[in-house]
Amino acid sequence: MHDNWRQRFEESPDVLLGAFNQRTRVPVRDFFVGGEEFITIAGPCSVETESQLMATAHHVRQAGARVLRGGAFKPRSSPYAFQGLGIEGLKLLARAREATGLAVVTEVMSEGDVALVAEHADILQIGSRSMENYALLEAAARSGRPILLKRGMVATIADFLRSAQVILDNGNPWVILCERGIRTFETAMRNTFDAAGIALLKHVTHLPVIADPSHACGYRELVPALARIGAAAGADGLIVEVHPDPDAAWSDGRQSLDFAGFDAMMADLEPWVAVRAQGPGRHRAAERPVLEAVAG
């Protein structure tokens, strides 16, 4: 193991925390991701219908979410599975934003869709399967919108940081990193949640880091525990799947919380958010000299 993080991640110099790279707070509407506030992003895996999206948006907002998530363009494991509503989904998301004041994040899958998605969303999501699509990263970066960059399911931390560097290189400083689980030998869960990766990212980068407990495990009964772990590891927020009737969801129902489950998770999380506020990831003044010291 290298103890010199600068050397280890030398291909991504601009993402590293340092004397000239202070913590980034990503501005979204009237709040920041990466500031003092723990930010919850919640909503369905896919935008399905107006009633599904509106009911979810109103519910997660009253339970404390700041951002509504929902896929309009869906990357699916099966080419025969539901691929998303496309532009109709984007319009529904924009309508939900109007109705609730929540910010909106949704995935953009191709360069050609960047302008359209940027017109409807506050944050552009780059999915796990697209993390190394540099042409897409460049186009998304140039939209100027904040980018929620999900870690590739087989990406190392160094790969992940290189993709963040591509966005910064293209003139967009507003990157939010998202740990969403990686593939390992373990098959009992959908992915393996890399909580240590969150701690490492908070230690070496100045970018906000959020956790996705839904895709990380694939089972709704485990989501609250992974959310707690993410907060305790120093994450700046969460992105979590919520659906009014998860068993009837068109995608990722098994890992989606229902409204009561979301409320319980949020209540359960409060003490861990308090721990995070005092944890090592928050000791900003103390952290910088450590990194500078190893930079030698």
Which one among 75, 171, 271, 289 touches ligand PEP, defined by CB under 6 A? 75
In terms of CB distance, is 213 or 281 closer to Mn ion? 213
Which one among 61, 97, 150, 190 touches ligand PEP, defined by CB under 6 A? 150
Which one among 26, 28, 33, 45 touches Mn ion, defined by CB under 5 A? 45
Please report how the helices 259-278 and 223-232 are oriented relative to each other, as an axis angle in degrees rounded to 10. Answer: 20
H helix intervals, the chain: 5-8, 50-62, 87-100, 114-120, 134-142, 157-169, 195-204, 213-217, 223-232, 259-278, 284-295
What one-letter code names the amino acid at 273?
A: V
Residue 150 interacts, among ligand PEP, Mn ion, none and using kind-specific CB cut-offs from 5 to 8 Å, with ligand PEP
Instruction: Specify which residues 125 forms β-bridges with.
Output: 107, 148
Per-residue contact flags (x/-) with Mn ion for residues 209 to 248, judged by CB under 5 A: ----------------------------------------
In terms of CB distance, is 45 or 68 closer to Mn ion? 45
Task: Name the one range near ligand PEP by CB under 6 A: 7-15, 50-58, 125-133, 164-172.
Answer: 125-133
How are beta strands 147-150 and 123-126 bridged, if at all? parallel
Gap between the Cα atoms of 279 and 209, Å rounded: 15
**What is the closest distance, in whole angstroms, from the C-beta atom of residue 7 to ligand PEP in the complex?**
29
**What is the sign of the dihedral through the CA atoms of 146, 152, 153 and 156?**
negative
37 close to 65: Cβ distance less than 8 angstroms = no
Per-residue contact flags (x/-) with Mn ion for residues 248 to 277, judged by CB under 5 A: ----x-------------------------
**What is the closest distance, in whole angstroms, from the C-beta atom of residue 221 to ligand PEP in the complex?**
19
Gap between the Cα atoms of 4 and 7, Å rounded: 6
128 binds ligand PEP (CB under 6 A): yes
Backbone phi, then psi, for 217, in 5-degree steps? -120, -35
Question: What tokens were used for 18?
Answer: 């340092």
Three-class SS state of 219: coil
CA nearest to 44, candidates 255, 260, 221, 264: 255
Which one among 120, 190, 215, 243 touches ligand PEP, defined by CB under 6 A? 215
Gap between the Cα atoms of 29 and 121, Å rounded: 11
Residue 276 interacts, among ligand PEP, Mn ion, none and using kind-specific CB cut-offs from 5 to 8 Å, with none
Which one among 43, 71, 237, 281 touches ligand PEP, defined by CB under 6 A? 71
Q: How many CB atoms lie within 10 A of CB 62?
A: 11
**What is the sign of the dihedral through the CA atoms of 164, 167, 168 and 172?**
negative
Task: Name the one range near ligand PEP by CB under 6 A: 57-65, 111-119, 122-130, 276-284.
Answer: 122-130
In terms of CB distance, is 17 or 148 closer to ligand PEP? 148
**What is the closest distance, in whole angstroms, from the C-beta atom of residue 77 to ligand PEP in the complex?**
9
Residue 162 interacts, among Mn ion, ligand PEP, none and using kind-specific CB cut-offs from 5 to 8 Å, with none
Residue 203 interacts, among ligand PEP, Mn ion, none and using kind-specific CB cut-offs from 5 to 8 Å, with none
Question: What tokens were used for 81?
Answer: 């599975």
**What is the closest distance, in whole angstroms, from the C-beta atom of residue 149 to ligand PEP in the complex?**
10
Residues within the interface to ligand PEP (CB under 6 A): 45, 71, 75, 127-129, 150, 180, 215
